[in-house]
Structure 1
Amino acid sequence: MRKWIQFPKSEGSHSKQAHCDLPAGSYEREMGKEGFFGPACHFHHAHPPTGWSAFDGPLQPHAFDLNELAQTGRTPWDAHPLFHNNDTRIRYWQCSQAMDQLVRNADGDELLFVHVGAGELFCDWGHLSYRDGDYIVLPRGTLWRIEPTEPTQLMLVEATQSSYQLPDKGLVGPHAIFDPTALDTPAIDDAFLAQQGEHETRVLVKRRGQLSTLTYPFNPLDAVGWHGDLVACRINWRDIRPLMSHRYHLPPSAHTTFVARNFIVCTFVPRPIESDPGALKVPFYHSNDDFDELILYHRGSFFSRDNIKPGMMTLHPNGFTHGPHPEAFEIGQKAARSETDEVAVMIDTRYPLDIDTGAASVERPDYVHSWKPKT
């Protein structure tokens, strides 16, 4: 059990409550431990913490436009590699044709987020339809394939040598944010039974980053039934009911959807903006001291960012102070919006992410200058 060097103190002009009723003309910055889960200090600055006039060196934020990626092949092993560390590998896959072989990831659980498209997924447990905005959790070792009915683009988030779990929802109880009954599971239905048969089928298995091919004289997705408490599942962002407070801007950790070893996956969905006059209306400035922050912008207008569109990703590395862009901050100060219309997926990783070739090929190198005030 950890024993933090932790005791509440205060100095100078400060607010009584974090993210509320800031001293006039000040800008709040949060410095914390363990992301948003540990002890924290809130500073009140005379100038925006992102108000730099120049920025040199490797500690820079990154923006990537995935809309510019070239098309990929018919299996997820053809996907563009985006980011990785020892705990996760993140890829981006465009698929417009039915997969002509099965795949199995023996390295870790796979989380599919459907950014664009619709279709059918077949796996060990049966058949599941998918659409844009779906999360699909495939436990390590799952045999699966998809048949798009619309061209499909997916972000694939592998929990390397680990498993996806639901977050501890604490005082709000297990039914908050989404009830576990909202998780859909595959069915052994007519569509699943119809795809079975005595036709030769190849399976591409990934283990330690290498592919092996198993060839069967039949389709191994031939289950006639199953029972147990390990199963592939699906939830759509439209089924998520976010925690809200009209008097306090909640930290991103309040929107956690899945947890794995050394990283979490959060979902930002449309919600009312804080209405209390003293409450912050945009995310607070923070130092990102212990986690890398990666965000995929799925749809809508992200209320703390300027010039970011759906299909883009940003990476704010550990140690980089960031927060709302200047125009977004001004809109928040004026309480010009009553609700957000954004949908985004955030992945916070305890250890730094390396940028892979796919992301590097579509980077926007001037992103670090986007916090400069517009003249």
Structure 2
Amino acid sequence: MANQLPYLTGFGGHFETEAVAGALPKGRNSPQRPAFGLYAEQVSGSAFTAPRHENRRSWLYRMRPTADHRPFTPYQGASLFAPGTSDAPLAPNRLRWDPPASLADDADFIDGLVTMMANRDPASLEGVAIHLYRATRSMTDRLFVNADGELLLIPQSGTLHLFTEMGRMEVAPGWIALIPRGIRFRVDIEGEARGYVAENHGAMFRLPDLGPIGSNGLANPRDFQSPVAAFENVDRPCEVIQKYLGSLWTTTLDHSPLDVVAWHGNLAPFRYELARFNTIGTVSFDHPDPSIFTVLTSPSDTPGRANADFVIFPPRWMVGEDTFRPPWFHRNVMSEAMGLIHGDYDAKAEGFRPGGLSLHNLMSGHGPDVDSWRKASEAELRPVKIEGTMAFMVESCWPYRPTAFALQHAQSDYDLAWADFPKAQLPQ
């Protein structure tokens, strides 16, 4: 993707940026008289008393305060976005979906969202929801803000042109972008765009600890990019759609609220190119747990148990001896929602397509299908490079509950992927 926009580099760093010289005050966070009559506003992504290394907030200097809006009323669009999950008893079945063919043909990013699964009430400040999107036109004179959690955008096809309160970002397939809770943004596209959204209601995504890996590896902080200040000076009606406590609401302003002229702080949107992930693996035998592929993690209150992990399976060398190289058969206390950006996934021979989705909830047995198992079992174990693929997983300690739409559109024969395994033959 052409990098035409300027960016600030680093993860969680304290940035300062201004679109108009002199708009950013020096030495004072909230002066009595900000330059040019701007309004000082702090946006906090963590509690005021959070430990310093976890405290996230930024000061925005804007043309109008965000407090200036009329009452919100229920939003009547996006009927498949945040509809709530099914209350019926959920069978412990593995589920998989083809890329949905029934999404709207004429929708922007918001109306093109469909919720597939979720696992906690957003009011609990825990859990994660998984959405798909299909957008065929840009958002015009309206924008979105999510009070329920931060949004991890994972494009599968088509570039997203994001205009946030804190600046602009371009996000193509092979990149991800994160929009913090409460930050307003607009999505422009050219043609059609499809992809995934992980909505994190819990602790903010952060880089995982490296432990015995040491100081280098996985996602490096320097590869994350945040936007420089950019603003709109537009005085015409603009709709604001807000997600709040699981429902969608709308109000209309007489101006664009993307009017932040300068900002500083360590709470900001960012983007990251997945190809920059430094994959770690074995050079002897077996292979480590998939936690070595964690890009971002949202911890829970239980140490070592993630509210949500964003994990990728990128191109990589496989060199281990005396091992079964695809993911082994396993049952896991964590629940796994998996998507495919492009290529083939090495544990499934067919049926898992780019733009599709699968769900293996806690303690459901899963692993390679028969063809993948047979091929891997008979393979000559020489160094081989897995290329031309990018799959991801949003793993959570909370079991996912699919929506009614998801249950109606799941593949009916997914369980057959594990049929016809030959029985082991013991010695007589």
Query: Shorter chain as normaliser: what TM range?
Result: 0.7 to 0.9
Counterpart check, 1:258 vs 2:258: no
| Secondary structure in structure 1 of the residue aligned to 2:318 | coil
Q: How does 1:84-99 map onto structure 2 within 5 Å? A: 84-86=118-120, 87-99=127-139
Distance 1:94 1:109 in 2: 19
CA contact (8 A) 2:109 2:138 kept: no
In structure 1, the partner of 2:401 is 354
Going from structure 1 to structure 2, the CA distance change for 1:67 and 1:211 (only over 3 Å counts) comes to closer
Q: How many residues align?
A: 313
Distance 2:166 2:258 in 1: 8
CA contact (8 A) 2:156 2:354 kept: no
Q: 2:281 aligns with which of 244, 247, 252?
A: 244
| Secondary structure in structure 2 of the residue aligned to 1:153 | strand
Distance 1:235 1:106 in 2: 23
Distance 1:210 1:324 in 2: 38
Q: 1:62 aligns with which of 95, 99, 116?
A: 95
In structure 1, the partner of 2:170 is 129
TM-score (norm 1): 0.78
Distance 1:119 1:317 in 2: 31
Going from structure 1 to structure 2, the CA distance change for 1:301 and 1:220 (only over 3 Å counts) comes to same
TM-score (norm 2): 0.69
Counterpart check, 1:120 vs 2:154: no
Going from structure 1 to structure 2, the CA distance change for 1:283 and 1:374 (only over 3 Å counts) comes to closer
Shift of 1:373: 2.9
Q: 1:269 aligns with which of 314, 338, 361?
A: 314
Distance 2:185 2:243 in 1: 13
Residue deviations 1:113-135 (CA, integer Å, cap 9, x gap): 11111131100110111101221
Q: Which of 197-206 and 333-342 deviates more?
A: 333-342
Distance 1:159 1:297 in 2: 19
Q: Which of 221-230 and 147-156 deviates more?
A: 147-156
Distance 2:265 2:397 in 1: 32
CA contact (8 A) 1:81 1:357 kept: no
CA contact (8 A) 1:281 1:335 kept: no
Unaligned runs of 5+ in 2: 1-89, 121-126, 301-306, 423-428
Equivalent position amino acid for 2:211 in 1: G
Q: Identity percentage over the alignment?
A: 23
Q: 2:221 aligns with which of 166, 171, 180?
A: 180
Unaligned runs of 5+ in 1: 1-56
Equivalent position amino acid for 2:367 in 1: G
Q: CA RMSD in A?
A: 2.0
Shift of 1:78: 4.7
Counterpart check, 1:338 vs 2:406: no
Counterpart check, 1:139 vs 2:180: yes
Distance 2:97 2:209 in 1: 32
CA contact (8 A) 1:128 1:187 kept: no
Residue deviations 1:211-247 (CA, integer Å, cap 9, x gap): 3323222211111111111111111211212112232
In structure 1, the partner of 2:349 is 306
Q: Which of 358-367 and 347-356 deviates more?
A: 358-367
Going from structure 1 to structure 2, the CA distance change for 1:220 and 1:150 (only over 3 Å counts) comes to same
Distance 1:149 1:325 in 2: 38
Distance 1:201 1:242 in 2: 44
